[in-house]
Amino acid sequence: MDTVQVSIELPRGVFSALRQDPWSFVGEMRLAAAVKWYEARLISQAKAAEIAGVSRADFLVALMRFSVSPFQYDADEIVQEVSGD
């Protein structure tokens, strides 16, 4: 797997405020970004899971945790798709 390392600077107090060590924080930040980008329809579930560093099944569980629908279509779009409009 070809990877790129990205470095960011954060105030030390962020970790204690969230009661997380830096490594847990990074994992949660990757997951939150992936969920948001998925919710905004910028990426697929598979790509979001890859960004978050979790399995697709674990990503679906995370969507529930963040109250984000696993479906990228709303009811009207599904009706249009089925009816052929």
pTM of the model: 0.80
Q: SS3 letters for the chain? A: CCCCCCCCCCCCHHHHHCCCCHHHHHHHHHHHHHHHHHHCCCCCHHHHHHHHCCCHHHHHHHHHHCCCCCCCCCHHHHHHHHHCC
CA–CA distance, 11 with 34 (Å, rounded to integer): 22
pLDDT tens-digit map of 8-41: 898 988 888 888 898 999 999 999 999 999 999 9
Categorize the per-residue pLDDT at 1 as very low, low, confident or very high, splitting at 50, 70 and 90: low
The count of residues in the chain is 85
